[in-house]
Amino acid sequence: MAEAGAGGAAIEAVVCDFGGVLTTPLMGSFLALQDAHGVSVEDFGEAMRAAAEEGGEIPLFKLERGEITEPEFLEILRDKLEPLLGHRPELHRFREAFFEALDPNEPMIELMRECRRGGRRMAMLTNNVQEWEPLWRTMLPVDEIFELVIDSGWVGYRKPEKQIYEITVERLGVPATACLFVDDLEVNCEAARDLGFTAVQYRNPEQAVAEVRKILE
């Protein structure tokens, strides 16, 4: 029998993040962007902060909600990088460089298969970008494992905003207290716990696999 979740209910569904959980760490992608464009991770961060001061929010968050397009995002980034670099970067193949640096995280993918074979409902909950969907969907057996994908770029909310978790449980038809959530960011796990989810913060495959199996045993 499944171990009880946060609200005492048995775990009926597993909700898993994409980047950094089912893939290798995202820092590798940011370093790849640095190599591809000659722009340091620090300069990317400074450009994001400068855009946030002007626009009220980091433009990546707007991109992840589908409020701006990828070309609009890259134009904002170029505008804010230009004074830092002394020239206007091209940022060609931005998405391709990002995803080419990621690899599937096989232990976690197999764990998700195991959860599905165990009869649990399966959902992927990802902060992502509309234009990037063809790239990330080809990386993993998404539809083989997950019956439901909640993508911030299409639903208009992003983790840790509570609405995206509410959309997930509504579409699953399972209460939050019967859901196990796995994500690499503690802020996202805390937001899930606040709504009644049981949450595991992914740090490495060994730790996460052990914690999830213990909850589901």
- Name the pLDDT band for 1 (thresholds 50, 70, 90): very low
35 contact partners, CB below 8 Å, separation of at least 6: none
Q: What is the pLDDT of residue 32?
A: 86
Secondary structure (3-state) at 171: helix
Q: Where are the domains of the chain?
A: 13-25+103-216, 27-99
Domain 13-25+103-216 has CATH 3.40.50.1000: yes
For 37-95, what is each residue's pLDDT tens digit? Answer: 888 989 999 999 999 999 899 999 999 999 999 999 999 999 999 999 999 999 989 99
Question: 20 in the Ramachandran plot: left (φ > 0), alpha (ψ -120 to 50) or beta?
Answer: left
